[in-house]
Amino acid sequence: MKKILAIILILAALSFSLAACSENTEIKSDEQAKETVVNLTGDLDTLGKSLDNLNEKLS
Amino acid sequence: MKKLAALLFIFILFLSPFAIAEEGTTETTQPSPPPTEPSPPPSETPTTQPQQPTEPIAPEPSSGGGGEGGGSPAPPPKEHKEDSQCPPPPSPSCNQDQRAEPFYQNGCLSGYNCVPRDGQEGPRDQPPESRCPPDRACMKGEECVPCPGQGQQFQNIPPGCHVEQGEFGEFIKCEQDKRYEEEKKRGEEDCRKHNGKFIIRPGTTAWECVAQGQQGFFQQGQCPSNEQLKQIEDQCSASKGKTEHFRDRSGCEAVSCRQEFSQGHGSEEEKIKFMALGCEEQGGQFVFDERGPNCIGGQQQIRINRDLKPLDGVELLKVALEMESVIQVFNEISAKLESLENYYQSKGDEEKAKAFEIALSQLDGAMNRLDEIRIGLAENADSLQEEDRYAVLGDMQQINSIIKDVAVTLLTGGKSKRAATQRFEKRAEGGFESEFEGPEGISQEEGFDILQGFQNCAEFSEDDPFKFSPEPGVSVKLEGLKDRNCVMKVNPPEMPGEITLLLPPEVYQFFDGPHLLLRDDVECSPDFACKMMRQQLQREARPPERFGEQERQREFREGNVQDFQGPEFPEPRGRFEQPKSGELRPSQCDGAELNNEECAKWAINTNTLEKIPQCKGLTEEQCTKLLKNSWDRAFENKGFEQPQQQFPQEFKGGEFKQEFEQKGYPSPEQFKQFEQYQSQYPQQYNYPQQQFPQQSFQGSSSAGFCGDGSIAPSLGEECDDRNNKDGDGCSASCKVEQQPVAVANVIKNFGDWMRGE
């Protein structure tokens, strides 16, 4: 019984981590796509600022 | 009963991931920002130009632009102005089931939002305590932003301009303005008279005349002459412009003269119109967003500070580590772009899928180049030359510019035709090819335009290519992207077919000359023609290496821990470092503290003689002697004992080294210890330029000087190799230089560990 429980627990943990890894990677609707694009422009803005910061440190 | 409870618990555990996955498909998360302290971007490279260099334009309250801090409208702002200073507010008009809630802008009551009365459900994603104005009804962090697909209420659009609806946003488009055109033409002519290049700074109401050198296609660029620089300066002081001194990406001295359009002093509406026109002309998209009028994207000039501050190895390594975090963010954004591309592909919307493919290609190129720079910095932390820094800074600014282009591609759904492309198309209509051909080859401006054409490769296609002729009889076409690579077709004279080259993103986006066509990752067909072309290029073009790329390619070829796998003989490092054959030993020998004979035997045992360049045609015994003798001589000449004993024992053979070799990465504590050690022994790590002048020339004449070939301990010399160069084992100030391998591996392995490789 313990072995079965252990296997089940491992499987559960595996499926949990798989789900965590795959979350947000699939887009299923136009609405979600638009929202992703809006968020992406914000992300790109943040990225630009980080690069500016690195540029400043190297200058 | 206990078993039943356990089973129930497991059943719930099984279900929970699916619930999370389901939730994940409806909500997207922000990638964690890199751990760099946010700092305002430098004025010459603003991310999206939210702040204008001169008086910032505050949009009218009804514009939908929030200006600085423009966001959540309630509660009233602290700097709420007296009613007498504010225009009279509009009266509320809400339905019976709604109540009016005031919102403020610039300290004034700007209007009312109609929100559901208590007990009724509010808009989705909107916390009850915060109400946003209708044009920015969604919350992003603590800011009110337009909801996806929600149009902004542009109410102060200048005359002659209109709002254009894009797939993922709205843009301000303005018709050409006669006064703008006339003033631009005058500026262009005046600038040309002074041998300058006319540019409009995206997102400003100013133009600039920049002194620039020569740029051919086959020839390396030349710096502008002193005379040219002076011409621009004189013209600038005569016209009361603002002079700016900087260096370009080749490290050349450059100067620009900045002048405001006369309308830049006019009304807000005129300013906005001129900003919009200038923005679009430079390939940007002009929008009103939560920060007000804003130019997204647009061609940026690469400008580097004239005087670079001294940086030591530790600081460079820290920057390299930070780059690793930035690369993580790149990866996260790439994953999202890929999801978008897949979504539109599965929907059969090829046009949008293509737009996201372009964005992905742009981002890939920028990310790969950043990774090359990261590895280059890590491996050359102790011997980074000034020209390397200029190259790195230039490419960093180029990466930033690419990111803005990606934002434009996203917002326009790939429909934007950049100004540069349009200019090329106009030329093509007027006989582009003949214009470029001539006995003297291409002109200076055309040289720059061609390089720009490569960087814009994504905007061309097979039906609408970018064509140019680098020399008489040769025609070249850029036909857009195929599998994220730029398709380049070359028609050499007297050849029946054409040569097809596929340039990866990190090549076409940073294209600065045909030497890059010699890279291993550039695919070329057919073989026989490619071979001929390569031979031709090798004769005419400069070497293909860029800062960091050789180090990165070596990593890919030989694995990430190649320093501990086989003997690595020092190779020439492009234009930065050219160690003489046989002068330096494989880095592993220093790590393992082998003497020269042991090192030679180990190198021969773990490798074939053919792979040791110095030993071709020799027996093992001869090779051992040759290596040993050449290293003995090299060490003797450099005046240091071998193997080098620079690390204290605790770092060299002790805990640090053992754990480093076992795990492949240091713990934060060890990295700190390493830093402390470096601060205790600053002479090994300080940027040598700081010490050079005093140490080289102080002391009596009998004591000699740094660079005279004899070691003078009284002057603090640890070595003297008859020169004052860094990076050759003996620094410019005659201190023994530490091999950068251990330090580089710290960064490389730390990065790989963070990425889980």
Alpha-carbon distance of B433 to B450, in angstroms, equals 12
**A–B interface: beta-carbon pairs under 8 A:** 178
Q: Strand, coil or helix: what is B135? A: helix
CA distances from B208 to B234, B399, B636 (A): 14, 23, 56
DSSP characters over B363-408? HHHHHHHHHHHHHHHHHTTTS--HHHHHHHHHHHHHHHHHHHHHHH
CA distances from B670 to B203, B320, B346, B644, B746 (A): 46, 17, 49, 22, 10
Interface test with A, best of B7, B47, B386 (most A CBs within 10 A): B47
Among all chains, which residue has been given the structure tokens 């501990």?
Answer: B564
Q: Strand, coil or helix: what is B176? A: coil
Q: Which residues pair with B242 in a beta bridge?
A: B258
Range of the domain at A46: 30-59
Distance spanning both ends of chain B, measured CA to CA:
45
Residue B475 CB neighbour total at 10 angstroms: 17
E strand or H helix at B489:
strand B485-491
Backbone φ and ψ for B222, nearest 5 degrees, come out as -115, 145
Of the candidates B508, B415, B421, the residue with the CA atom closest to the CA atom of residue B460: B421
Tokens coding B649? 């024992």
Question: Which pLDDT does position B348 carry in this prediction?
Answer: 92
pLDDT at residue B741 greater than cutoff 50? no
- The interface pTM score, or ipTM, of the predicted complex is 0.72
Q: Does A10 touch chain B (CB under 8 A)?
A: no
pLDDT tens profile B302-357: 888 888 888 888 888 889 999 999 999 999 999 999 999 999 999 999 888 888 98
Of the candidates B328, B327, B352, B325, the residue with the CA atom closest to the CA atom of residue B339: B352
Amino acid found at B62: S
Q: Does A2 touch chain B (CB under 8 A)?
A: no
User: A51 to chain B: nearest residue by CA?
Assistant: B400
Q: Strand, coil or helix: what is B164? A: strand
Residue B403: its chain A contacts at CB < 8 A? 44, 47-48, 51
Tokens coding B580? 């003489």
Alpha-carbon distance of A44 to A53, in angstroms, equals 14
E strands along B137-291, which residues?
Answer: 138-140, 143-145, 161-165, 170-174, 196-200, 206-211, 242-247, 253-260, 284-289
Average pLDDT over residues B602-625: 74
Alpha-carbon distance of A42 to B329, in angstroms, equals 12
Please, are residues B148 and B56 in contact by the beta-carbon 8 Å criterion?
no
Residue B559 CB neighbour total at 10 angstroms: 12
Q: Is residue A3 part of a domain?
A: no
Question: Are the beta carbons of A23 and B24 separated by less than 8 Å?
Answer: yes
pLDDT tens profile B424-479: 555 444 433 333 333 344 444 555 567 778 888 888 888 888 888 877 778 889 99
Of the two residues B378 and B135, the one the predictor is more confident about is B378
Alpha-carbon distance of B425 to B162, in angstroms, equals 25
Q: Is residue A1 part of a domain?
A: no
What is the Cα B356 distance to its own chain's centre? 20
Question: Which pLDDT does position B279 carry in this prediction?
Answer: 86
Of the candidates B287, B307, B181, the residue with the CA atom closest to the CA atom of residue B245: B307
Interface test with B, best of A2, A26, A29, A40 (most B CBs within 10 A): A40
Of the two residues B662 and B717, the one the predictor is more confident about is B717
pLDDT tens profile B615-662: 767 788 888 888 888 777 766 544 434 333 333 333 333 343 344 344
Among all chains, which residue has been given the structure tokens 């503290």?
Answer: B593
Q: Is residue A16 part of a domain?
A: no
pLDDT tens profile B128-145: 444 566 655 556 555 665
Average pLDDT over residues B237-246: 89
CB-nearest partner of A54 from B33, B323, B344: B323
DSSP assigned state of B57: P
Tokens coding B214? 């020569």
Alpha-carbon distance of B470 to B443, in angstroms, equals 10
Q: Strand, coil or helix: what is B202? A: coil
Among all chains, which residue has been given the structure tokens 């009963």?
Answer: B1
Question: Are the beta carbons of A25 and B335 separated by less than 8 Å?
Answer: yes
Q: Does B340 touch chain A (CB under 8 A)?
A: yes
Q: Angle at the Cα of B314 (from B311 to B318), degrees rounded to 5?
A: 95
Question: Are the beta carbons of B42 and A1 separated by less than 8 Å?
Answer: no
What is the Cα B445 distance to its own chain's centre? 24
Residue B326 CB neighbour total at 10 angstroms: 24
CB contacts under 8 A, A 27-56 vs B, are: 27-28, 31-56
Of the two residues B681 and B5, the one the predictor is more confident about is B5
DSSP characters over B544-610? ---TTHHHHHHHHHH-TTGGGTS------BTTTB-PPTTTS--HHHHHTT--HHHHHHHHHHTS-GG
User: B329 to chain A: nearest residue by CA?
Assistant: A47
Write the CB contacts of B233 (distance below 8 Å, at least 6 apart in sequence).
B243, B255, B257
pLDDT tens profile B546-595: 777 777 666 655 544 333 334 444 443 332 233 343 446 776 676 677 78
Question: Which pLDDT does position B656 carry in this prediction?
Answer: 38
State the pTM of this model: 0.56
Q: Residue B703's pLDDT band (boundaries 50, 70, 90)?
A: very low
Alpha-carbon distance of B673 to B264, in angstroms, equals 55
Question: Are the beta carbons of B30 and A25 separated by less than 8 Å?
Answer: no
The total domain count for chain A is 1
Question: Are the beta carbons of A39 and B332 separated by less than 8 Å?
Answer: no
Please, are residues B467 and B501 in contact by the beta-carbon 8 Å criterion?
no
User: Which burial class, exposed, middle or buried, applies to B124 when counting CB atoms under 10 A from its CB (0-12, 13-18, 19+)?
Assistant: exposed
Amino acid found at B598: E
Name the average pLDDT for chain A. 76
CB contacts under 8 A, B 403-422 vs A, are: 403-404, 406-407, 410-411
User: B363 to chain A: nearest residue by CA?
Assistant: A44
Tokens coding B677? 């050690």
Q: Does B2 touch chain A (CB under 8 A)?
A: no
Alpha-carbon distance of B712 to B655, in angstroms, equals 35
pLDDT tens profile B384-398: 888 888 889 989 998
Q: Angle at the Cα of B299 (from B356 to B274), degrees rounded to 5?
A: 110
User: B44 to chain A: nearest residue by CA?
Assistant: A52
Question: Are the beta carbons of A34 and B148 separated by less than 8 Å?
Answer: yes
Q: Residue B171's pLDDT band (boundaries 50, 70, 90)?
A: confident
User: Which burial class, exposed, middle or buried, applies to B371 when counting CB atoms under 10 A from its CB (0-12, 13-18, 19+)?
Assistant: buried
Average pLDDT over residues A25-31: 84
Q: How far is A41 from chain B (nearest CA, A)?
A: 6
